[in-house]
Structure 1
């Protein structure tokens, strides 16, 4: 019945992950969606009859409440100011965003709130972004709103770009690294393409720490699959890729696919932590970026994904096939 069709509000629709979620909904006519976007956004939602647009501001409860009041059954929330756009401050409003989202979900009897968080580590208190995300998780769990929280591993689309790959962001509508935030844009302008063009890869730490890198498309698939999975309600789920690989192994995959020798340039943990301390007051977003790279350079996150993929009937991409696809698409 039409009334039983999930009606999903995608909050963070203009971001890289939110856009991937909407593109999937556009070809799945069994789901209706509303894209929540800011009034100053130049985001263009997919041209599909099952996708509408709601203009609002997450700091304004009434605009969030109005969006949830459109017979919304599920909310998928990816919004964050962790990598701030021009004019935003790092993490300044994230708690307010989610206070308003949770309140609107509760008042409109939303059946399911699906949130993307960060992977867990014993060093969460050393990463400002992780501190904020754990607070949001606690707010969601305590709210009484049915939820699924995915704790995502490092995204291939972002961190392979940090290593120096241009292919992973070429043609992407709203890449995270090219937001208004000056340091991420500067990093990208200095390093984008050095992997493909010069065979140079930047690797956090000594490059030997393994990560369960996951591509954004797979994250989008998992979050959408949760819409029709009541067994995932009120669960916090670690989310990683098909296999864990080290930064050096990722660089070697590029070398094999590009048929060139790749030089790995280490970014020492002491250097990343020193930069984090220097940036802490003047550039909080930059300090956060350095703290994450330091963590990824020494702490391994490699969850077993077999149970979840079987449950959701999803196939995950491995790093090699992801890189090969991006190189083919970008013609680099």
Structure 2
């Protein structure tokens, strides 16, 4: 039995679909009762901030997919960091109480030589709690995930499509290694059967390393859009979040924390994922082509 958290979210929804195709028994954690209509998919009512509900949810479970991350209001970073800590601590305790064998987790990349944003620092803490829990784990770290419905991609898409003149701030030269959503889900779903991934953490990304400015420029080029980029000193987090929040289908507070994280480098450390999984993530250009095909269907 698999317990899937965040099943109605961007990552969780894709993972649910991938796992359901494997004919596995999947239990989804939800705040309200849902009837899936699929005999292999059930829903259990619970909340990661309620320990007792997690004990109930993890009963009879072998593997937990943990895709929970809090993102509060712009002036409440301490609050969501505390909630993140409580949530994962509750889950780890519940997993131990029911002898869950493994936790699979997706988080953000981080550079140990940099001071992390509030968003990435909280994600790093969650990762460390899982790694030090004594429970087997597999952890994947990504930077920009390219796919419709993802907050980072929707913000990028909105900026490039709707702003003929795009301001770039002090994060323009930060380097990242984006990855297509399909490849992320493939790693998450296939690692279930890969014993080589147990008790290991992996950075995942395509082969290209781009600055955020190059990311936007190449995306505009793939869309056939001519855009002018203007450099402006400073970070302008709040102004950017407010402006993009009015244009993008993303909560302005989420955009704020994502923009704050733009200062942090997200480049993959070498790993042996190709040997283990037998594939490499598609290129940035191919990612955009795939997304465009999905939108036109």
Written as runs of structure 1 = structure 2, the 5 A alignment for 1:283-294 is 288-294=257-263
Q: Does 1:75 align with 2:52?
A: no
List gaps (5 residues or longer) in structure 2.
Answer: 241-251
Return the alpha-carbon distance in structure 2 between the equivalents of residues 228 and 92 of structure 1: 34
Q: Which residue of 1 aligns with 2:4?
A: 10
- Picking from 155, 159, 163, the partner of 2:152 is 159
Query: Which segment drifts farther, 199-208 or 53-62?
Result: 199-208
Q: Cα offset for 1:232?
A: 1.5
Residue of structure 2 equivalent to 1:113 = 103
Shift, 1:316, TM fit: 1.5
The 8 Å contact of residues 77 and 114 in structure 1, kept in 2 or not, is answered as yes
Q: 1:271 aligns with which of 213, 220, 235?
A: 235
Deviation sequence 1:241-298 (CA, Å, 0-9, x none): 3322233333343343333322234464x2247979xxxxxx9867633420233xxx
Asked if the contact 2:142–2:178 (Cα under 8 Å) also holds between the matched residues in 1, the reply is no
Question: Which one of the candidate residues 29, 40, 47 is aligned to 1:36?
Answer: 29
Tell me, yes or no, if the aligned pair for 2:171 and 2:262 is still in contact at 8 Å.
no
RMSD: 3.1
Alignment of 1:149-298 (within 5 A): 149-157=139-147, 158-163=151-156, 165=157, 192=158, 195-196=160-161, 199-201=164-166, 203=168, 205=170, 207-266=172-231, 268=233, 270-272=234-236, 288-295=257-264
| Counterpart among 95, 111, 117 of residue 85 in structure 2 | 95
SS in 1 for 2:56: helix
Are the counterparts in 1 of residues 155 and 255 from structure 2 also a CA contact under 8 Å? no
**Residue aligning to 1:176:** none
Q: Give the Cα–Cα distance (whole angstroms) in 2 for the partners of residues 128 and 91 of structure 1.
A: 8
Shift, 1:21, TM fit: 0.5
Task: Tell me the residue number matched to 1:173.
Answer: none
The residue number in structure 2 matching 1:280 is none
Q: What's the counterpart of residue 246 of structure 2? A: none
Q: Which moved more, 1:73-82 or 1:144-153?
A: 144-153
Question: Judging changes above 3 Å, is the alpha-carbon distance between structure 1 residues 314 and 58 closer, same or farther for their aligned structure 2 residues?
Answer: same
Where 2:29 maps in the other structure, the secondary structure is strand
Query: Is residue 27 of structure 1 aligned with residue 27 of structure 2?
Result: no
| Cross-structure match for 1:329 | 294
Tell me, which stretches of 5 or more residues in structure 1 are unaligned?
Answer: 1-6, 166-191, 277-282
Whether contact under 8 Å (1:201, 1:262) holds in the other structure is yes
Tell me the residue number matched to 1:63. Answer: 53
Indicate if the aligned counterparts of 2:143 and 2:266 stay in contact, CA closer than 8 A. no
Distance in 1 of aligned mates of 2:19 and 2:294: 22
Q: Report the counterpart of residue 180 of structure 1 in structure 2.
A: none
Q: Distance in 2 between matches of 1:266 and 1:331?
A: 33
- Look up the match of 1:174: none
For 1:132 and 1:228, how far apart are their aligned partners in 2? Answer: 29
Measured at CA, do residues 50 and 251 of structure 1 come closer, stay the same or move farther in structure 2, by a change above 3 Å?
Answer: same
Cα distance 1:9–1:253, how it changes in 2: closer, same or farther (>3 A)? same
Deviation per CA, 1:17-58: give whole Å up to 9, x if none.
Answer: 1111001112222x2211111129xx886x543222112111
Aligned-partner Cα distance in 1 for 2:120–2:267: 14
Match of 1:178 in 2: none
